[in-house]
Amino acid sequence: MAYAYDDQNIFAKILRREIPNSTVMETEHTLAFNDIAPQTPHHVLVIPKGPYVNHDHFAAEATDAEIVDFTRVVGAICAGLAIQPGEGGEGYRLISNAGETGVQEVPHYHMHILSGRPLGRMVKKAD
Ligand code: 5GP
């Protein structure tokens, strides 16, 4: 499958430092920053620095080092927020939207980390 990456998307501009961000964590391959319109008290976005459009693109074409780094950053932020279930934390939700069905707004792969209030059921029932 050929994936088309648009380097004018807003997260590509954040990675090029063309627009500012509120950085939570940065590593060689990964950047995590606060969502500009948080939907929960904690709402962090984690993105790979490489040009991947969504999870299946990242899983297919990223290097092992990129995948390990991304996974560890997501985990570290969840741990750092002290929101692990079972350890006095209240838990969290990870979401990665893809394409039209997933209602993906920004076409650069990202993981949402949401926590800080009860989130309700995962998906609304169809009408
Ligand atoms: P999506 O719908 O693509 O999964 O989510 C995109 C997310 O990016 C949204 O939650 C939106 O609030 C966030 N977002 C859009 N533009 C910006 C921006 O310029 N800066 C930051 N920090 N977040 C953004």
Domain carrying residue 42: 21-104
Q: Using DSSP, state whether 94 is helix, strand or coil.
A: strand
Give strand ranges (E) for 5-103.
23-26, 30-34, 42-48, 93-95
Whether residue 121 lies inside any domain: the answer is: no
Residue 103: left (phi > 0), alpha (psi -120 to 50), or beta? left
pTM of the full structure: 0.94
Q: Over the stretch 45-104, which tens digit does the pLDDT of each residue have?
A: 999 999 999 999 999 999 999 999 999 999 999 887 755 555 545 788 999 999 999 999
pLDDT band at 125 (very low <50, low <70, confident <90, very high): confident
Please tell me which residue, 127 or 49, carries the higher pLDDT value: 49
The H or E element that residue 113 is part of is strand 111-115
Ligand 1, atom nearest to 105 Cα: 3
Read off the pLDDT of residues 31-41 as tens digits, 9 standing for 90 and up. 999 999 999 98
Whether 119 is in a domain gets the answer no
Separation of alpha carbons 62 and 119, rounded Å: 31
The answer to whether the beta carbons of residues 60 and 103 sit under 8 Å apart is no
- Ligand 1 centre to CA of 36 (Å) is 6
Residue 41 counted as domain residue: yes
The CA distance from 122 to 125, in Å, is: 10
Please report whether residue 54 resides in a domain: yes
pLDDT of amino acid 116? 86
User: What is the number of domains present in the chain?
Assistant: 1
Residue 97 lies in a domain: yes
User: Is the distance from the beta carbon of residue 33 to the nearest atom of ligand 1 less than 6 Å?
Assistant: yes
Is residue 68 assigned to a domain? yes
In a domain, 94, yes or no: yes
**Which CA distances in Å does 110 have to 33, 88, 98, 127?**
11, 27, 9, 28
110 is known as an active-site residue: yes
| Ligand 1, atom nearest to 96 Cα | 4
Domain at 36, CATH number: 3.30.428.10
Ligand 1 pocket test: pick from 36, 40, 58, 103 the residue with the most ligand atoms within 8 Å of its Cβ.
36
User: Has residue 111 been placed in a domain?
Assistant: no
